């Protein structure tokens, strides 16, 4: 499903470029499209995007690092998302945008933490635990997330050049992970990786708006960075092979977005 969506997104972008030379970059006898559309106080649209979500992980110095070796690794996968656009004109150069969307995310975490058996007798700050022989399934967690992401962006755009206009935007995000497992009573010892359901962050974006006869198409690149620690600790008594090996875990995401307005 993800590969099919990405192929459709690429085909859509390629098809759109076929119009650019004729409608955007050929200046002779060309009329400006959608004149006055940006003067509307309110407008709306939708977007499609490809995404790459990853975790920025800070490891626990005792359980997450063995000498010079990091015991926890994060691997990202490509996925997709979609959402709606609401725009409010502030003045000739600034717009306010609300762009709620759903982001479907897959990430892989690997816990090579069997060496933490050496702490099984306990320390002055950590209780003893019974060592486990970790299987491949114990060491691997596929973290599936569905984020309801709600960014509020302040957009600054330059002057329109024929049928195109560059812009940059930045703002704040409120994001709800609908697959966080945060309320689960099971933890990693039962194969359940838990993270926070409510998250906050900031977003920056750049792109170019292209004006066609019936709609405005905007290809853009967006970066989103969560500011809160998303890690939910394992239950008391769970050996320190999983969540205990991580101090903080924060999402960082990069998106290629196609907006239609």
Q: Distance of CA 187 to CAs 93, 228, 229, 235, Å? A: 50, 21, 17, 7
Could you list the residue range(s) of the whole structural domain that residue 254 is in? 2-260
Q: Which two tokens stand for residue 126?
A: 């950590």
First and final C-alpha spacing in the chain:
26
What does 6-39 look like in DSSP terms, one character per residue?
HHHHHHHHHHHHHHHIIIII--TT-PPSSTTGGG
What does 121-166 look like in DSSP terms, one character per residue?
T--SSS---------HHHHEEEEEEEEEEEEEEEEEE---BTTEEE
pTM for the full predicted model:
0.84
User: What pLDDT does residue 37 have?
Assistant: 76
User: What pLDDT does residue 32 have?
Assistant: 74
- pLDDT of the chain along its 261 residues, tens only? 555 555 555 555 555 554 444 455 554 455 577 677 788 999 999 999 999 999 999 999 999 999 999 999 999 999 999 999 999 999 989 999 999 999 999 999 999 999 999 999 887 778 899 999 999 999 999 999 999 999 999 999 988 888 889 999 999 999 999 999 999 999 999 999 999 999 999 999 999 999 998 889 999 999 999 999 999 999 999 999 999 999 999 999 999 999 999
**Do 241 and 134 touch, CB atoms closer than 8 A?**
yes
The continuous run of DSSP H or E covering 51 comes out as strand 42-59
CATH of the domain at 188: 2.40.160.20
User: What pLDDT does residue 30 have?
Assistant: 55
- What's the CA gap between 174 and 176, in Å, rounded? 7
Please name which of 112, 49, 121, 134 lies closest in space to residue 85, comparing C-alpha atoms: 49
User: What pLDDT does residue 6 have?
Assistant: 56
User: What pLDDT does residue 189 have?
Assistant: 95
User: What pLDDT does residue 22 have?
Assistant: 47
For residues 11-41, one letter each, b for 16 or more C-beta atoms within 10 angstroms of the residue's C-beta and e for the rest, the string is eeeeeeeeeeeebbeeeeeeeebeeeebeee
User: What pLDDT does residue 31 have?
Assistant: 59
Count of the separate structural domains present in the chain: 1
What 3-state DSSP class applies to 111? Answer: strand
């Amino acid at each position: 499903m993800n590969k099919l969506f990405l192929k459709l997104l690429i085909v859509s972008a390629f098809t759109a470029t076929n119009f650019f030379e004729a409608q955007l970059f050929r200046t002779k006898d060309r009329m400006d499209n959608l004149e006055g559309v940006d003067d509307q106080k309110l407008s709306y649209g939708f977007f499609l995007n490809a995404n790459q979500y990853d975790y920025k992980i800070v490891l626990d110095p005792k359980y997450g690092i063995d000498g010079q070796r990091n015991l926890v690794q994060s691997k990202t996968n490509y996925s997709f998302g979609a959402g709606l656009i609401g725009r409010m004109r502030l003045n000739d150069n600034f717009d306010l945008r609300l762009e709620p969307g759903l982001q479907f995310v897959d990430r892989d975490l690997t816990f090579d933490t069997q060496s933490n058996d050496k702490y099984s007798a306990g320390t002055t700050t950590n209780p003893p635990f019974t060592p486990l022989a970790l299987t491949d399934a114990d060491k691997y967690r596929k973290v599936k997330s569905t984020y309801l992401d709600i960014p509020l962006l302040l957009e600054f755009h330059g002057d329109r050049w024929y049928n195109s206009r560059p812009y940059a935007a930045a703002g704040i995000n409120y994001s709800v992970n609908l697959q966080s497992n945060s309320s689960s009573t099971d933890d990693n010892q039962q194969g359940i990786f838990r993270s926070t359901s409510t998250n906050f962050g900031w977003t920056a974006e750049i792109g170019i708006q292209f004006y066609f006869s019936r709609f405005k198409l905007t290809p853009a690149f967006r970066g989103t960075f969560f500011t809160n620690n998303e890690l939910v600790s394992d239950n008391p008594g769970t050996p320190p092979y999983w969540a205990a090996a991580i101090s903080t875990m924060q999402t960082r995401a990069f998106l290629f977005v196609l907006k239609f307005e």
